[in-house]
């Protein structure tokens, strides 16, 4: 499994956790902001000494906007989804960055995993289809990760159905 998908199997069922990939660690973010801030400060002082004092403020504004953009990106990375599969129930829970949750539950016997190519550029989408209902999930995953999740979850569904009978 990838770094964005963890799977736990037990006698009760299967538990998947899906979360988006973030390559920049908090420590890396600190050093990046330190470098950006230092360069902006040095350049701002240089412009200040040349008499172009308003430029100093714009360098500070640039650093503040970059910081805000990264913080918003980190906040959006707090989303995650869990998939719990037992012979009796398939339950998908999405936890949004705000802490609000969305849930979808169905009988695994009727559930099908759909991996479809939605756009001409080959981007895929992942859905659970059951009794006329569709629930889209894993939107933050890459196409390869979606394929991996679809394969793993389809295999787990087959096992859950066979365990039921």
**Number of structural domains the chain divides into:** 2
Handedness of CA 77, 96, 137, 162 (dihedral sign): positive
Of 16, 19, 20, 18, give the one whose Cα is nearest residue 156: 16
For residue 165, what pLDDT band results from cuts at 50, 70 and 90? low
pTM: 0.73
Q: Helix, strand, or coil here: 113?
A: strand
Rounded Cα distance between 105 and 74, Å, is 29
For residue 3, what pLDDT band results from cuts at 50, 70 and 90? very low
Domain of residue 59, residue span: 26-76
CATH number at residue 119: 2.30.29
For residue 90, what pLDDT band results from cuts at 50, 70 and 90? very high
Q: Are residues 106 and 149 in the same domain?
A: yes
Rounded Cα distance between 90 and 80, Å, is 17
Q: Are residues 50 and 98 in the same domain?
A: no
Of 79, 93, 72, 81, give the one whose Cα is nearest residue 146: 81
105: Cα within 13 Å, side-chain hemisphere: 7
Q: Are residues 114 and 139 in the same domain?
A: yes
- The pLDDT tens digits for 12-67 are 788 999 999 888 898 999 999 999 999 999 999 999 999 999 999 999 999 999 99
């Amino acid at each position: 499994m990838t770094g964005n998908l963890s799977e736990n199997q037990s006698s009760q069922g299967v538990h998947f956790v899906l979360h988006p990939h973030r390559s920049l660690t908090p420590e890396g973010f600190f050093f990046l902001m330190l470098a950006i801030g230092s360069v902006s400060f040095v350049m701002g002082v240089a412009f200040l000494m040349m008499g172009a004092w308003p430029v100093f403020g714009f360098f500070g504004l640039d650093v503040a906007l970059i910081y805000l953009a990264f913080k918003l990106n980190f906040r959006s990375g707090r989303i995650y989804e869990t998939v719990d599969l037992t012979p009796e129930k398939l339950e998908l829970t999405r936890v949004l960055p705000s802490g609000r949750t969305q849930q979808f539950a169905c009988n695994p016997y009727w559930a099908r995993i759909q991996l479809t190519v939605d756009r001409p550029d080959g981007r895929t989408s992942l859905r659970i289809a059951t009794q006329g209902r569709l629930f889209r999930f894993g939107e933050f995953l890459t196409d390869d990760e979606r394929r991996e999740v679809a394969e793993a979850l389809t295999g787990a569904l087959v096992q859950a159905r066979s365990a039921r009978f």
